[in-house]
């Protein structure tokens, strides 16, 4: 608990007061693909500067590879953001690496769901406590890749549960049906446009009016 409190204190202390006009879009390689670029273009068209931070092959499953919770320190100040959009999950249909060592197998569904949901909630709450008024989990789209399509449903459900259990998290859901993708995971331009049409109104409502 002391470590968590210290981490939060450092995040807040390093975040001076700002006008909350910017939007942060972070997550896996989809942030740098058609989906992320379209969100950036459309939101900036509304007059909100967008910062994109994508890391390929990242997510919440493997903090030993890339730890988004730790990465928040590099993204300070956080309280300047009116909204943080999180787009990840396509790499998370696998066993979970524990920070203290060891694994939670994908096949152990109850333990997997509990741990993954907790990681999402903790990540969102850290952003909330650092001064971000809203954190939106943009649930990963189903690109139609055989096998992966069935598995991504668990990730989507756990992300939604984690966001709803958090202090300022909300969910942007592009739907569970298949959207056009270039490789079964990353959306094509057409798939990204369909995704945008489904989330546009909900996303716009999360931003302060001008």
**What CATH number does residue 192 fall under?**
3.40.50.1110
In this structure, is residue 187 part of a structural domain?
yes
Query: Residues 109-124: pLDDT tens digits?
Result: 999 999 999 999 999 9
In this structure, is residue 3 part of a structural domain?
no
Checking 60-64 for CB contacts under 8 A at 24+ apart, the result is 60/88, 60/89, 60/92, 60/116, 60/119, 60/120, 60/123, 61/91, 61/92, 61/94, 61/95, 61/96, 61/97, 61/116, 62/91, 62/94, 62/96, 62/97, 63/97, 63/99, 64/97, 64/99
What is the span of the domain harbouring residue 123?
19-206
In this structure, is residue 167 part of a structural domain?
yes
Query: What confidence tier does 210 reach under pLDDT thresholds 50, 70, 90?
Result: confident
The domain tally of the chain equals 1
- Residue 3: its pLDDT value, please? 38
In this structure, is residue 26 part of a structural domain?
yes
Mean pLDDT, range 67-73, rounded to an integer:
96
The structure's pTM equals 0.91
In this structure, is residue 199 part of a structural domain?
yes
């Amino acid at each position: 608990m002391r470590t968590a409190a210290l981490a939060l204190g450092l995040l807040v202390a390093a975040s001076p007061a700002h006008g909350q006009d910017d939007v942060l879009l972070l997550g896996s390689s989809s942030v740098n693909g058609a989906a992320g670029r379209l969100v950036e273009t459309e939101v900036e068209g509304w007059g909100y500067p967008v910062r994109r931070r994508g890391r390929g092959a990242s997510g919440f499953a493997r903090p030993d590879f890339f730890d988004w919770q730790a990465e928040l320190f590099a993204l300070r100040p956080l309280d300047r953001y009116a909204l943080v959009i999180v787009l990840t999950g396509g790499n998370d249909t696998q066993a979970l690496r524990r920070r203290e060592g060891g694994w939670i197998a994908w096949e152990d569904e109850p333990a997997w769901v509990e741990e993954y949901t907790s990681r999402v909630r903790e990540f969102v709450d850290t952003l909330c406590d650092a001064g971000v008024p809203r954190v939106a989990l943009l649930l990963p789209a189903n690109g139609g890749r055989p096998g992966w399509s069935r598995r991504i449903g668990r990730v989507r459900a756990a992300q939604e549960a984690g966001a709803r259990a958090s202090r300022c998290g909300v969910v942007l859901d592009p739907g569970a049906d298949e959207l056009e993708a270039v490789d079964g995971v990353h959306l094509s331009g057409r798939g990204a446009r369909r995704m945008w049409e489904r989330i546009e109104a909900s996303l716009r409502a999360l931003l302060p009016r001008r």
